[in-house]
Amino acid sequence: MADLIFPDGFLWGAATSAQQIEGGRHAGGRGESIWDRFAATPGKIADGSDTGTACDHYHRWRDDLRLMTGLGLGAYRFSIAWPRVQPTGTGAPNAAGLDFYDALVDALLVAGIEPFPTLYHWDLPQALQDRGGWAERATAEAFVEYTATVVHRLGDRVRRWVTHNEPWCIAVLGHEEGHHAPGHRDPAAALRVAHHLLLSHGWATAAIRREVPRAEVGLVHNYCPAYPASDRPGDHDAARWFDGFFNRWYLDPVFKGAYPPDAVADRVAAGHLPGPELPFVRDGDLAVIAAPQDFLGLNYYSRVVMEAGPDGRPRAVPPAPDTPVTDMGWEVYPAGLREGLARVQRDYAPRRIIIAENGAAYDDPVGADGRITDTRRLDYLRGHLLAARQALADGVPLAGYFLWSLLDNFEWGYGYTKKFGLFALEPGTLRRIPKDSAFWYRGVIAANALPDATAPQTQGDTRAFDQ
């Protein structure tokens, strides 16, 4: 049983982000974000939806706080919307925007829940995009000003800060593949974007520490391990190729102060860089990026299996038909979490690691008894928490776990069709309905342990989340 118990002080959390849950598009003087603009562009969002209302968290946050209290959360990871704080990305702060987060932070602290904010979860003010967005170094400078503004206001109460969420998604999905805002398809620009994100992370780290010397700062990376499809050297090289551009492109600069030479060579070969010199890197940038971090946040959802295609080029192998996948089509592969944590620890030795997101999209209906029996999510969570527990036993300095997500919400290009929440939203009323996994997670947090898999699954106190 000891192997199911977590260490004392292990941080149990849940995560959301502003654009995905807040709504209140125009409330309190909020400016336009690139995701507002992207969602308003026909054909970009699978269900044609937008985030004008989303989960209406902007107005219902006190109800949502009661859900968090019901869960017994130790921490809540949310993001701050830059367009609320600075509607056009620079200049004087918007008081109503800062007041919103100020009140949320205060209320979380009263509830005994650590506020764990992310400064940038993809909602760039559109005004900055109009001036070139993250492809421009000036946006990195603006991010530091925004960071200082937020930390000046909240830093007396917030101890831990995340700078950026998943720079790979911003750079590649947003600027190379065009699936995310701003929807560009320019691989060379994506490399500039990645660099400016990393640079702004380094600058913001210093700005946060200047404002609050005892603050702790970290970056969140979406870690995706790559496995070769076979022992063939070409497949091994395909896995190296993926890992280089997905994981090491971000982790190497932050922890080693250098871009990975093999991945740079891959980009040169692809014609995305003129040569091994990165034209957008200026003297001193890498030292800024490599500022020591207090923790590393990792988001883990799945793995990728890579092979050399018939033309020799690397490509992903889709999961075999009998492999369990979530509604995202992502393979359920908890072993990748344990192995990934060990690998990150071995290669980068962060002071502490926090699983900043982990969870699964499954669509389960409300039953005749009013319950949402999301057994597959529960199995997913159990498997991954077991892997996390094993990583702790392996000696990984894992300090916490944030479940993605508190609520079903706007899943970017998929709109509201992918449901990651512990709570569903009743169509029309947006009433929050706890899924079985919410009751289960509540039990895990209360016990600081995983229940024995053979124990019968009960809801426990069905009034836990009454509103």
Map residue 118 onto helix, strand or coil. Answer: strand
Distance CA 405, CA 416 (A): 13
Which residues form the interface with ligand FCB (CB under 6 A)? Answer: 17, 20, 165-166, 169, 222, 299, 357, 404, 411-412, 420
- Output the CA torsion 243→245→249→250 (10° steps): -80
Q: Per the residue annotation, which of 166, 211, 307, 339 is the catalytic one?
A: 166
Map residue 230 onto helix, strand or coil. Answer: coil
Q: Is 166 a catalytic residue?
A: yes
What are the tokens at 169? 């998604």
Rg (CA), the chain: 21
CA 414 → CA 21, 23, 109, 226, distances in Å?
14, 17, 33, 24
Q: Per the residue annotation, which of 32, 176, 211, 357 is the catalytic one?
A: 357
Cis peptide bond upstream of 230, omega within 30: no
| Nearer CB in complex with ligand FCB: 264/387 | 387
In the bound complex, what is the minimum distance in angstroms from residue 329's beta carbon to ligand FCB? 12
In the bound complex, what is the minimum distance in angstroms from residue 217's beta carbon to ligand FCB? 18
In the bound complex, what is the minimum distance in angstroms from residue 305's beta carbon to ligand FCB? 19
Length of the chain equals 467
In the bound complex, what is the minimum distance in angstroms from residue 299's beta carbon to ligand FCB? 6
Distance CA 282, CA 286 (A): 8
| Nearer CB in complex with ligand FCB: 86/358 | 358
**Between vectors from CA 398 to CA 106 and to CA 78, what angle results, nearest 5°?**
30
Q: Is 357 a catalytic residue?
A: yes
| Residue 406, phi then psi, degrees to nearest 5 | -60, -45
In the bound complex, what is the minimum distance in angstroms from residue 22's beta carbon to ligand FCB? 13
| Nearer CB in complex with ligand FCB: 159/179 | 179
Look at phi and psi of residue 326 and say left if phi exceeds 0, alpha if psi is from -120 to 50, else beta. Answer: beta
With the C-alpha atoms ordered 55, 56, 61, 62, is the resulting torsion angle positive or negative?
negative
Distance CA 64, CA 69 (A): 9
Residue 48, amino acid? G
In the bound complex, what is the minimum distance in angstroms from residue 3's beta carbon to ligand FCB? 28
In the bound complex, what is the minimum distance in angstroms from residue 156's beta carbon to ligand FCB? 28
With the C-alpha atoms ordered 128, 131, 135, 138, is the resulting torsion angle positive or negative?
negative
Distance CA 429, CA 344 (A): 43
Catalytic machinery residues: 166, 357
